[in-house]
């Protein structure tokens, strides 16, 4: 930063507000309504949409289409999750659903569990990993345990990492 810049700021006794950047037009902008309409009609395949757009003269990359679809997916998930519904359940209730066989849950419990998993990618990943462990135990597939524990220790789930690290130390002492 230059000395003159700092002097000007001090003289004005305020930090100059940054100018709002103008959004540049992209090749995708003209096709956004088309993609949105196709999305609402059930088309979820980005490559298929990109090919349809290309046939209509779109010159951009398929990556632009995927970025837009990711935005639509996130908006759809946020709209379907009801946070008030999640708050009415205790942590113990949620854990109980995570460790139970999904076939034993009634419709309300399955619905609530699905809401939890939609609310957070971390919860969804934790549920999947816990169910994988339970299936492994029920099917007596102990040979998969070390791989599962290694997967957990490399995950971004600190609570499960602690558990997995302790179990790995029991299996493979230092």
Judge whether 4 lies within some domain.
no
Judge whether 42 lies within some domain.
yes
Do 98 and 160 have their domain in common?
yes
Judge whether 61 lies within some domain.
yes
pLDDT score recorded for residue 21 = 67
d(CA 46, CA 51): 9
Q: Please state the separation of Cα 131 from the chain's center in Å.
A: 19
Q: What is the pTM of this model?
A: 0.49
Let me know: does 69 contact 46? Beta carbons within 8 Å. Answer: yes
Judge whether 129 lies within some domain.
yes
Q: How many domains does the chain have?
A: 2
Do 71 and 87 have their domain in common?
no
d(CA 28, CA 54): 11
Judge whether 3 lies within some domain.
no
pLDDT score recorded for residue 85 = 62
Do 143 and 107 have their domain in common?
yes
Judge whether 14 lies within some domain.
no
Q: Which residue has the tokens 């169910």?
A: 131
Do 31 and 73 have their domain in common?
yes
Q: What is the pLDDT along the chain (174 residues), one digit of tens a residue?
A: 678 887 877 787 766 666 666 677 888 888 888 988 988 888 888 899 999 999 999 998 888 888 888 888 776 655 455 556 666 777 788 788 888 888 888 888 888 888 778 777 788 888 888 899 888 988 998 888 888 888 888 887 887 888 888 888 887 776
Do 113 and 128 have their domain in common?
yes
Domain boundaries, position 118 = 83-171
pLDDT score recorded for residue 51 = 94
Let me know: does 124 contact 155? Beta carbons within 8 Å. Answer: no
pLDDT score recorded for residue 52 = 93
Do 163 and 87 have their domain in common?
yes
- Token digits of residue 145: 């345990």
Do 110 and 166 have their domain in common?
yes
Q: Which residue has the tokens 């996130």?
A: 74
pLDDT score recorded for residue 56 = 94
Do 59 and 102 have their domain in common?
no
Do 158 and 90 have their domain in common?
yes
């Amino acid at each position: 930063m230059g000395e003159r810049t700092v002097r000007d700021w001090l003289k004005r006794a305020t930090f100059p507000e940054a100018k709002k950047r103008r959004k540049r037009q992209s090749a995708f902008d003209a096709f956004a309504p088309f993609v949105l309409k196709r999305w609402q009609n059930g088309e979820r395949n980005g490559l298929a949409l990109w090919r349809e757009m290309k046939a209509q003269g779109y010159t951009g990359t398929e990556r632009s289409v995927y970025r837009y679809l990711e935005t639509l997916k996130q908006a759809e998930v946020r709209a379907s999750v009801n946070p008030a519904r999640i708050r009415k359940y205790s942590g113990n209730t949620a854990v109980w659903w995570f460790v139970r066989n999904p076939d034993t849950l009634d419709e309300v419990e399955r619905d609530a569990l699905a809401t939890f998993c939609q609310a957070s990618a971390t919860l969804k990943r934790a549920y999947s990993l816990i169910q994988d462990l339970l299936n492994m135990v029920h099917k007596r597939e102990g040979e998969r345990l070390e791989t599962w524990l290694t997967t957990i220790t490399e995950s971004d789930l600190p609570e499960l990492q602690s558990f997995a690290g302790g179990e790995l130390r029991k299996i493979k002492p230092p």
